[in-house]
Structure 1
Amino acid sequence: MSWTRGLRAVLAVGALLGGLAGCGSGDAHERKGEVTASPVGKVLGATDEEGRHYREVDKKGAPEVAVEVKPDSGDDWNVRLTVRNFRFSPAGVHPEAVAGQGVARLYLDGRSLVRLRSGDYHLSGRLIPRGTHHVTVRLYADDQTLWAVRGKAVESTADITASAAETTPGPTGTG
């Protein structure tokens, strides 16, 4: 009957290992707002305005971004990002930090507008009142940590000046 004792031992070890493997596999999806463990960089205590932690990486090979904003037809704007050492993640990727991968977030005067998964975006003029404004883009890992170098966010800002369209008064006659 030693085979039953051996079988029980194998089952017990299998259950223990299976339970341990299952414990860590989905935690990142269930715990909202927690940073995933990753061998990429070092998570800092510093956060952005929305509470996302900075993820410090070495300057050598670090992601870089530049933003260019040009007027489009009407009052709209074309936003173009140029990235280096970075690739945009497709929707639905596992929420963990992978070196040089993630999404960009576009801000207007410090207010978050949109998360980008490509380097081109059409910005509606309806969102931009008359005056000078700051369009900022920041690079984030897929676990929502902000890529950083030497304690500073990997970001770029462009200034734009919007002028309201001239309106011509229409007929106001009542007859």
Structure 2
Amino acid sequence: MSWTKTRGRLAALAVCLLLPLGVAGCGTAHGGPGPGGGASAGAAGAESPSPVGKVLDDTDDSGRHLREVGGKDAPEVGVEVTPASADGWDVRLTFHRFRVSTRGARPTAVTGRGPACLFVDGRRVARLYAPRYRLPGRLVPHGTHQVTARLYADDGTVWAVHGKPVQSTADITVSDTRPPGTPPASAARLSDG
């Protein structure tokens, strides 16, 4: 073997040894990015290695694959819906073992991170990057409605436990029998979804 070939291989080996495993694409424990995966964690350790959990063949009602995680490590979400002073509803989400991503986050599944999506009667109305949202009154006309918050990974998969999406639902009832200037609502009730 010539010195040029040997020197090139030594340089490549040095790069792989000096950089954290997987960051430069020199190889990972699982042979590269998996479904929805990307490279391993960076030097700061802010992200966990991908793939996270197990991507299931099952999907949610919007066609997104479920990403199964163990119960003790699984994220949780709670949803509370209250009448707003103006026409609409204030939605407040609470999270456990979950952090909402910023807009434009890298499309890689990272443990306990991603956006939340808000559904009204099964129809997606918003992707949330914050724990609060003002739900316009026009989206919840007279009657009883279900407002559901569901947690997603940044790669678009749905966080799941025991084959069910991680989500929470509040039932709200809108009545047209209110005096002018009062909020258009009765109490919101939480239920496990």
TM-score (ref. length: structure 1): 0.77
Which residue does 1:60 correspond to in 2?
A: 72
Q: CA deviation at 1:8?
A: 3.8
- Number of aligned residue pairs: 156
| Whole-angstrom distance in 1 between the partners of 2:51 and 2:178 | 55
Letter of the 2:3 counterpart: G
Give the aligned residue type for 1:45.
D
Choose between structure 1 and 2: higher helix proportion.
Answer: 1
Mapped pair 1:7 → 2:26: no
> What CA distance in whole angstroms lies between the structure 2 residues aligned with 1:65 and 1:42?
20
Query: 2:157, 2:53 → 1: CA distance?
Result: 11
- Structure 2, unmatched stretches of 5+, are 17-23, 27-32, 38-49, 181-193
Q: Which runs of 4+ in 1 moved over 4 A?
A: 9-15, 165-168
- Residue 53 of structure 2 is aligned to residue 41 of structure 1: yes
When Rg is computed on C-alpha atoms for both structures, the one with the higher figure is: 1
Given the alignment, which residue of 88, 94, 101 partners 1:76? 88
Q: With CA pairs under 8 Å and 6+ residues apart, which has the higher RCO, 1 or 2?
A: 1
TM-score for both structures, normalised by structure 2: 0.70
- Which of 138, 147, 150 lines up with 2:159 in the alignment? 147
The alignment partner of 1:7 has SS state of helix
Contact residue 52 and residue 110 of structure 2 kept, 8 A:
yes
Instruction: Report the CA distance between 1:12 and its aligned residue.
Output: 7.4
Partner Cα distance (1:100, 1:84) in 2 = 9
Q: Which runs of 5+ in 1 are unaligned?
A: 23-27, 29-33, 169-175
What is the root-mean-square deviation in Å for CA atoms of aligned residues? 3.1
Q: Secondary structure at the match of 2:115?
A: strand
Query: What's the offset of the Cα at 1:75?
Result: 2.9
Q: What percent identity do the matched residue pairs reach?
A: 52
